Amino acid sequence: MSTLGTLAATLRAVLGDGQVLTDRQDLRTYECDGLANHRVVPGIVVLPRDTAECARTVRECVAAGVPFVARGSGTGLSGGALPRADGVLIVTARMRRILAVDAADERATVEPGVINLQVSKAAAEHGYYYAPDPSSQQVCSIGGNVAENSGGAHCLKYGFTTHHVLGAEIVTPEGEVVELGGPAPDPPGYDLLGAFVGAEGTLGIATRVTVRLTRLPQSVRTLLAAFPTTAAAGAATSAVIAAGVIPAAVEMMDALAVEAAEAAVACGYPAGAGAVLIVDLDGPTAEVEAQFAQVTALFETHGATELRVAATEAERTLFWRGRKSAFAAVGRISPDYIVQDGVIPRTALPEVLARIGEIAAGHGVRVANVFHAGDGNLHPLVLFDAAKPGEDERAEEASGAIIDLCIEYGGSITGEHGVGTDKAKYMPRMFTADDLDTMQLLRCAFDPAGLANPGKIFPEPRLCGEIPRKHHGSDAPTGLY
Amino acid sequence: MEWAPATEADHIDGVPARWVAAPTTTAEAAAVLERAARDNLAVGIRGGGTKLDWGLPPRRLDLLVDTKRLSGVLEHAAGDLIAIVRAGTRLDTLDFGSQHLALDPLPGATVGGTVALNTSGPRRLLHGTARDLLIGITVVRPDGRVTRSGGKVVKNVAGYDLGKLYTGSYGTLGLITECVFRLHPVAGARAVVTTPVPRADLGALLATIRAEQVVPSAVELDRPDDGPVTVAVLVEGTPAGVHDRAAQLEKATGGTTSADPPPWWGRYPWQPGETGVKLTAPLSRVPALAEPGVRGSAGTGVLYARLTGDIPARLDRIRAAAIAAGGHAVVLTAPPDVRERVDMWGPVPGLALMRRVKDRFDPGHRFAPGRFAGGI
């Protein structure tokens, strides 16, 4: 029997038939995550029901020398949960219990398959919510959020997943169950939890997560502003931040993105706007009112052609609907598209958008821009038609050129989607060989055999090698690890 | 880069160094550490020298790297709310105009020392700690190689977030030379609402403060050796907003508003040479730890205790209480005779993994050997 065949039989014997999938049709369900142009049918799919089953699965993989990949809801946009044909896909969908909501401690403990929005729903009756809110929050899982260090529209003010995770029980790549962090802050020793969050499943699998809950704000105001150009909208955003106001969210869409959203969800954004800003202000009522007056005044002096304030929750939802549907909406105006996730210093926005326009023109593709304007996280959508010869290559080139632009301006290749499969090739453009080598030191400490989600984040697979125990003058280890 | 022979002042907690080097740039620091690696030297790092008596003394020490000349702000991008600062810069000298790095400085402490020992103050409630504000870091590895992680934009998930790993690592993984921080606007107004409370009512008072949606920057408590607990809440924002929020808190707590925090604010409750312990617990269990001599962040569950008398016995008791509450009790500093008799760190979950990390980053165990948890 093949290695995978033997492993599948072992896993069935210890976990039960229902937890192990090997039928080709079943396996195909899991062949991609949200980055649907990368597809690999996994060798085996395992659906553990608890930590012990997850740890046992990993230990069997280690014993067989088979790589494994963890998957939550499969909404990731960088191929972080892309399976291996020669490996096991461990899906956390059956670990979906909310174990505790402790309002008095401002925290909740959940299993990794719990959906992001469910945490906020469970906390709402106590007057709390879970702050990180990726656009996919109705379907994405907390385990996936931890792996990707997910952000969302409101991370400008509230931070990312890493700021809201207090502890995690993990299964290490060697199959041990270890507690990182815990119910209290600042546990002694290295902050391994901080390193684990955002490691994209390469340092193990979270099987239980304790998150911080945030008190619901006393007041929320949402406004929508139209500007003649993206440069004007960018300048208005900068003026707000220069005035010392940190909105909960500042989102921008350019004319093409607005056109797409309008076609898809009829959100009723101002016609003919060169750019639309959606701003959330939240906090104590008196602060929100003061900030609201500041923001509207600044928007007017920076040339806003229209200002709308959401008077009801329904209007607020409508303002956000266009933005939240933007990625899917471009499907209405283009058969294919690539989503980018680069970050730039926000002050460089006007220049960078002009350069993106040049890149698009130079490659004969259209680019719709949707982004978190407050923190400079761009989501350029490179539109193309794969049916037309050469367009997909040109779109891919344009996409790479945009990434280079972000690096040139001192930014990042990814703000929240992760490196995954998609952007591993760009890592050497952002980091030196020594930087990447140092990250490998951490990976090797957790995963000496290199079985946890291999091929993600780092451009080339690396062996860990032995740890040199002694370190003497002439035989200092150079390039050994 | 010249190395100087160490003087009498060049020691870490009583362990004398043989040489001292004071690099001015990351490149000079790399040259120093490359040579130290070649010569298999044990390395200690000194910033402002304010916490050299924290943790345990190093098992061995050859070269003391002094960061006092590795100082200065390299970049302040005000529009982007970030700054790049060399590690030897004193935190209390940073001036970013209408912006600030929202870490409460210990007098004389450097940026690098604050990150390496992960100290935090009252405003951690709203702004988090060094780990939360650090968005990029440059570190010279024990083998002398210069490495960076993170970057200079706040939102960035490219590669491992090694800044978290270095934060609080006590100089056992390498030399921090430059830090990139997220900044915050300085608030236009602030107020402090102070309420004395019997210990029996402390839990209810803290719950009341949490229930009000006033978004405090800090919720601190102080329990002197005699007298009731005092709880002080800091609110920061616009003048109108702060006025309303303080009034709301006064009404809810029966406290009184002042412009400035009380004199004990942000100071450890111990004096140099005494025993100081960091206690942590989930929020609802904070009252269980609020013994006499305890002070700190009731709003985050991070308290500090001054231990006197029969210190080992008191430590045992307070550590048992912290562990029962779900937290920890770590002795930050203690005189040598106490250190010899107590377990400084208490239980350290995940220690085996931490040792593996140390083995990879510093295979010769030359950087601050023995200073850290579990003898790392």
- A282-297: per-residue pLDDT in tens? 999 999 999 999 999 9
Residue A479: pLDDT over 80: no
Indicate whether B105 and B72 sit together in one domain: yes
Q: Which of B38, B132, B156 should one mutate to test binding to chain A, selecting the residue with the greatest count of A CBs within 10 A?
A: B156
Indicate whether B46 and B146 sit together in one domain: yes
- B289-325: per-residue pLDDT in tens? 999 999 999 999 999 999 999 999 999 999 999 999 9
In a domain, B298, yes or no: yes
In a domain, B263, yes or no: no
CB distance from A239 to chain B under 8 Å? no
In chain B, what's the furthest Cα-to-Cα distance? 66
Residue A469: pLDDT over 80: no
A442 CB neighbours in chain B (<8 A) are 160, 162, 165, 357, 360
Indicate whether B252 and B334 sit together in one domain: no
Give how many domains chain B has, as a whole number.
3
CB contact under 8 Å between B361 and A192, yes or no, is: no
Q: What band does A331 get if pLDDT is binned at 50, 70 and 90?
A: confident
Domain CATH for B174 = 3.30.465.10
Separation in Å, CA A153 to CA A124, A246, A250, B76, B352: 19, 13, 8, 25, 38
Please name the residue that has the structure tokens 């299993």.
Answer: A111
Burial B187-216 (b: 16+ CB within 10 A, else e): bebbbbbbbebeeeebbebbeebbebbbbb
Burial class (CB in 10 A: 0-12, 13-18, 19+), A418: buried
Instruction: Supply A381's token pair.
Output: 């959508």
> What is the percentage of chain B residues whose pLDDT exceeds 90?
98
Q: What are phi and psi of A211, to 5 degrees?
A: -115, 155
Task: Look up residue A200 and give its amino acid.
Answer: E
In a domain, B362, yes or no: no
In a domain, B88, yes or no: yes
- DSSP SS3 for B176: strand
Q: What are phi and psi of B307, to 5 degrees?
A: -100, 135
Domains within chain A, CATH numbers bracketed: 3-91 (3.30.43.10), 98-215 (3.30.465.10), 219-408 (3.40.462.10)
B248 CB neighbours in chain A (<8 A) are 284
CB contact under 8 Å between B350 and A180, yes or no, is: yes
Instruction: Give the span between the Cα atoms of A443 and A454, in whole angstroms.
Output: 10
CB contact under 8 Å between B155 and A343, yes or no, is: yes
Distance from CA of A393 to the nearest CA of B (A): 24
Task: Look up residue B154 and give its amino acid.
Answer: V
- Name residues whose C-beta falls within 8 Å of residue A393's C-beta, 6 or more positions apart in sequence: none
Burial A282-297 (b: 16+ CB within 10 A, else e): bbbbbbbbbbbebbbe
In a domain, B92, yes or no: yes
Indicate whether B50 and B182 sit together in one domain: yes
Instruction: Give the span between the Cα atoms of A399 and A402, in whole angstroms.
Output: 5
Quote the pLDDT of residue A324: 86
Indicate whether B20 and B159 sit together in one domain: yes
Beta-carbon pairs below 8 A across chains A and B: 297
Nearest to residue B303, comparing CAs of B338, B278, B273? B278
Give the β-pairing of B99-100 and B256-258. Answer: unpaired
Instruction: Give the span between the Cα atoms of A262 and A308, in whole angstroms.
Output: 17
Q: Which of A435, A438, A442, A457 should one mutate to test binding to chain B, selecting the residue with the greatest count of B CBs within 10 A?
A: A438
Residue B359: pLDDT over 50: yes
CB contact under 8 Å between B158 and A413, yes or no, is: yes
Distance from CA of A214 to the nearest CA of B (A): 10
A161 CB neighbours in chain B (<8 A) are none
The number of angstroms, rounded, from the C-alpha of B56 to the middle of its chain's C-alpha atoms is 16
Indicate whether B86 and B114 sit together in one domain: yes
> What is the percentage of chain B residues whose pLDDT exceeds 70?
100
Find the mean pLDDT for residues B352-368.
Answer: 98
Instruction: Supply A85's token pair.
Output: 């044909």
Q: Residue window 179-198, chain A: list those with CB within 8 Å of chain B.
A: 179-180, 182-195, 197-198
Report ipTM for this prediction. Answer: 0.97
Domain CATH for B293 = 3.30.70
Nearest-10 crossing angle of helices A349-363, A230-242: 160
- B268-282: per-residue pLDDT in tens? 999 999 999 999 999
- The 8 Å CB, 24+ separation contacts for B291-295 are B291/B223, B291/B318, B292/B223, B292/B224, B292/B225, B292/B226, B293/B223, B293/B224, B293/B225, B293/B269, B294/B221, B294/B223, B294/B269, B295/B220, B295/B221, B295/B222, B295/B223, B295/B264, B295/B267, B295/B268, B295/B269
A286 CB neighbours in chain B (<8 A) are 238, 240-241, 243-245
Across chain B, what does the average pLDDT equal? 97
Quote the pLDDT of residue A467: 66
Distance from CA of A75 to the nearest CA of B (A): 17
Give the β-pairing of A165-171 and A177-181. Answer: antiparallel
Instruction: Give the span between the Cα atoms of A245 and A281, in whole angstroms.
Output: 9
Q: Which residue does chain B place closest to A287, by CA atoms?
A: B241
Give the β-pairing of B218-223 and B229-237. Answer: antiparallel
In a domain, B156, yes or no: yes
Quote the pLDDT of residue A326: 86
Find the mean pLDDT for residues A119-139.
Answer: 96
- Cα dihedral value B301, B302, B308, B314, nearest 10: 50
Indicate whether B169 and B251 sit together in one domain: no
> What is the percentage of chain A residues whose pLDDT exceeds 70?
97
In a domain, B136, yes or no: yes
Instruction: Give the span between the Cα atoms of B207 and A150, in whole angstroms.
Output: 30
CB contact under 8 Å between A183 and B282, yes or no, is: yes
Find the mean pLDDT for residues A5-17.
Answer: 97
Q: Out of A231-235, A276-280, A458-462, A469-473, which region has the weakest mean confidence (pLDDT)?
A: A469-473
- Name residues whose C-beta falls within 8 Å of residue B60's C-beta, 6 or more positions apart in sequence: B15, B42, B369
Q: Can you give the pTM of this predicted structure?
A: 0.96
Instruction: Give the span between the Cα atoms of B195 and B254, in whole angstroms.
Output: 7
CB B313: neighbour CB atoms within 10 A? 10
Instruction: Give the span between the Cα atoms of B14 and B185, in whole angstroms.
Output: 41
Quote the pLDDT of residue B366: 98
Indicate whether B200 and B175 sit together in one domain: no
> What is the percentage of chain A residues whose pLDDT exceeds 90?
88
Separation in Å, CA A161 to CA A126, A151, A441: 21, 6, 24
In a domain, B144, yes or no: yes
Q: What is the extent of the structural domain holding B182?
A: 1-186
A187 CB neighbours in chain B (<8 A) are 280, 328, 348-349
- Name residues whose C-beta falls within 8 Å of residue A38's C-beta, 6 or more positions apart in sequence: A32, A79, A82, A421, A422
Indicate whether B112 and B145 sit together in one domain: yes
Quote the pLDDT of residue A327: 84
Instruction: Give the span between the Cα atoms of B49 and A97, in whole angstroms.
Output: 48
Nearest to residue A449, comparing CAs of A132, A67, A162? A67
Instruction: Give the span between the Cα atoms of A341 and A327, in whole angstroms.
Output: 12
CB A13: neighbour CB atoms within 10 A? 11
CB contact under 8 Å between B158 and A431, yes or no, is: yes
- B1-60: per-residue pLDDT in tens? 789 999 999 999 999 999 999 999 999 999 999 999 999 999 999 999 999 999 999 999
Quote the pLDDT of residue A468: 53
Instruction: Supply A464's token pair.
Output: 């860990």
Q: What is the CA radius of gyration of chain A?
A: 23
CB contact under 8 Å between B77 and A345, yes or no, is: yes
Find the mean pLDDT for residues A97-108.
Answer: 97
- DSSP SS3 for B133: helix
CB distance from A428 to chain B under 8 Å? no
Query: What pairs with residue A178 in β-bridges?
Result: A170
Instruction: Give the span between the Cα atoms of B336 and B222, in whole angstroms.
Output: 27
Q: What band does A1 get if pLDDT is binned at 50, 70 and 90?
A: confident
Instruction: Supply B75's token pair.
Output: 């970049």
Find the mean pLDDT for residues B184-202.
Answer: 96
Instruction: Supply A443's token pair.
Output: 């990976």
Find the mean pLDDT for residues B96-106.
Answer: 95
Quote the pLDDT of residue A475: 35
Indicate whether B289 and B145 sit together in one domain: no
Q: What are phi and psi of B21, to 5 degrees?
A: -130, 140
Indicate whether B321 and B240 sit together in one domain: no
Burial class (CB in 10 A: 0-12, 13-18, 19+), A307: middle
Nearest to residue B233, comparing CAs of B252, B209, B212? B209
CB contact under 8 Å between A244 and B38, yes or no, is: no
- B157-180: per-residue pLDDT in tens? 999 999 999 999 999 999 999 999
Give the β-pairing of A366-372 and A249-254. Answer: antiparallel
Query: Would you give the end-to-end CA distance of chain B in angstroms?
Result: 29
A347 CB neighbours in chain B (<8 A) are 77, 79-80
Indicate whether B237 and B283 sit together in one domain: no
